[in-house]
């Protein structure tokens, strides 16, 4: 049997082709990181502080804000320090922990869109039973299976990756510990890892997309058949449709760019994969704040009150 040593320490080498220009990336990514933190924190504050927003739909929006607030914290600080000070090292344990939380929170971005689609379905198609079906005891049957699915699949992916020996170098061509970027450094066969990765893609984002699409087809059909009375209710779906469209477009580009990497520069692949995580965290709270009138009104009141306080003579 051939002897080899398995690496326990790795170098995150994303955007290395930029050379001396790599620190310039600190500015745009830092702005997006701060925007994500501020926008999601404001959205959470508004929903938590306003009792009129303590309804199932807004609680789900708050859940999305929690995910969008947490996700960048697991990779942006390390990435920004890497750009600014060239600190690129990470241990295998640290890499696996980062991978677990990034992929888990990414999975819940998709799952929360499923729960939002269910909320809109119950509100528009079965309004008389909305509060009964969206009450926590009844809604748990939709929550628990998807939570178990996400945790099991992501934990399995990370556990299988952690068992691999890594002898094909220790340089990860990425800004964070992406699953296939790490697995690509492993010795021997990684077919099981690739298969489980593909299965997880089918069971989480693809399955969620199919369910969301089906639910909105039913909603549109119900609204069109009900005439003008359903048009106002349909307006509440537009925000979710915009978020779903943008999120799934970025996910698809990131997924395909990694699979056809031989035809794309490494920097392009890393960029789309990073945007897949960071852009929705910046985009979602802005869309919900602008498109949802109740949230927009409370945000405007807070901003106007802050402006008044600042202009009052001391």
Query: Is residue 296, in this structure, part of any structural domain at all?
Result: yes
pLDDT tens profile 248-293: 777 767 666 656 655 667 777 788 788 888 888 888 888 877 777 7
- Is 92 in contact with 119 (CB distance < 8 Å)? no
- Is 113 in contact with 222 (CB distance < 8 Å)? no
State residue 1's pLDDT score: 40
Query: Is residue 199, in this structure, part of any structural domain at all?
Result: yes
Q: Which residues contact 200 (CB under 8 A, 6 or more apart)?
A: 153, 154, 156, 157
H or E segment to which residue 89 belongs: strand 89-91
- Is 109 in contact with 64 (CB distance < 8 Å)? yes
Query: Is residue 311, in this structure, part of any structural domain at all?
Result: no
- Is 247 in contact with 288 (CB distance < 8 Å)? no
State residue 251's pLDDT score: 72
Query: Is residue 36, in this structure, part of any structural domain at all?
Result: yes
Query: Is residue 274, in this structure, part of any structural domain at all?
Result: yes
- Is 121 in contact with 219 (CB distance < 8 Å)? yes
The ranges of the chain with pLDDT < 70 are 1-5, 227-236, 239, 252, 254-264, 305-314
Query: Is residue 72, in this structure, part of any structural domain at all?
Result: yes
State residue 298's pLDDT score: 79
Query: Is residue 312, in this structure, part of any structural domain at all?
Result: no
- Residue 125: how many CB atoms within 10 A of its CB? 18
Name the CA radius of gyration of the chain, rounded. Answer: 22
Structural domain count of the chain? 1
- Residue 94: how many CB atoms within 10 A of its CB? 14
State residue 238's pLDDT score: 72
- For 11, list phi and psi in degrees, rounded to 5: -115, 120
- Is 181 in contact with 106 (CB distance < 8 Å)? no
- Residue 23: how many CB atoms within 10 A of its CB? 13
Find the domain containing 183 and state its range: 9-305
Query: Is residue 293, in this structure, part of any structural domain at all?
Result: yes
H or E segment to which residue 172 belongs: strand 171-172
**Closest listed residue to residue 278, CA positions, set 48, 40, 100, 46:** 40
Strands 9-12 and 89-91: antiparallel
> Which runs of consecutive H residues, i.e. helices, occur in the chain?
26-49, 56-70, 76-85, 92-125, 130-134, 136-162, 179-183, 191-201, 207-226, 231-259, 266-291, 293-311
CATH code at position 119: 1.20.1070.10
**3-state class (DSSP) for residue 171:** strand
């Amino acid at each position: 049997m051939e002897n080899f040593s398995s690496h326990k320490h790795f170098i995150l080498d994303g955007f290395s082709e930029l050379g001396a220009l790599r620190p310039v990336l600190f500015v745009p990514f830092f702005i997006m990181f701060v925007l994500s933190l501020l926008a999601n924190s404001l959205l959470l504050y508004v929903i938590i502080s306003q009792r009129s927003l303590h309804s199932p739909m807004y609680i789900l929006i708050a859940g999305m804000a929690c995910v969008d607030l947490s996700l960048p914290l697991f990779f942006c600080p390390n990435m920004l320090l890497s750009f600014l000070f060239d600190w690129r090292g990470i241990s295998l344990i640290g890499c696996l922990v980062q991978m677990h939380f990034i992929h888990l929170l990414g999975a819940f971005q998709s799952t929360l869109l499923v729960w939002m689609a269910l909320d809109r379905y119950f509100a528009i198609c079965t309004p008389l039973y909305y509060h009964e079906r969206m009450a926590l005891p009844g809604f748990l049957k939709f929550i628990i299976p998807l939570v178990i699915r996400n945790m099991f699949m992501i934990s399995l992916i990370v556990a299988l990756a952690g068992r691999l020996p890594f002898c094909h170098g220790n340089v990860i061509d990425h800004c964070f510990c992406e699953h296939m970027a790490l697995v690509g450094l492993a010795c021997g066969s990684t077919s099981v890892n690739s298969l489980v990765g593909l299965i997880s893609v089918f069971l989480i984002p693809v399955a969620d997309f199919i369910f969301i699409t089906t639910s909105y087809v039913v909603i549109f059909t119900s609204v069109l058949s009900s005439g003008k009375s359903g048009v106002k209710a349909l307006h509440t779906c537009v925000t979710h449709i915009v978020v779903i469209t943008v999120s799934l477009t970025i996910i698809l580009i990131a997924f395909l760019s990694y699979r056809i990497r031989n035809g794309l520069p490494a920097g392009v692949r890393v960029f789309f994969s990073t945007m897949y995580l960071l852009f929705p965290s910046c985009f979602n709270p802005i869309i919900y704040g602008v498109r949802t009138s109740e949230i927009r009104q409370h945000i405007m009141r807070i901003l106007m009150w802050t402006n008044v306080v600042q202009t009052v003579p001391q």
